Amino acid sequence: MSRFRPRYLSYAALVLLVLPFALAFITSLFTEGDMWNEGTGGGAWLWLLFLSLPGAFLLFLTSIIWWLIRDIKKRGN
Q: Give the domain range for residue 32.
A: 6-76
pLDDT score for 7: 79
Instruction: Cite the DSSP H helix spans in the chain.
Output: 6-31, 49-76
Residue 42's φ and ψ, nearest 5 degrees, are -100, 25
For residue 39, being part of any structural domain is answered with yes
For residue 1, being part of any structural domain is answered with no
pLDDT score for 70: 85
pLDDT score for 22: 93
pLDDT per residue, tens digit, the chain (77 aa), is 456 677 788 888 899 999 999 999 999 888 888 889 888 888 888 999 998 999 999 999 998 898 888 888 888 76
Count up the domains in the chain and report the number. Answer: 1
For residue 15, being part of any structural domain is answered with yes
For the entire predicted model, the pTM comes to 0.75
Residues in the chain: 77
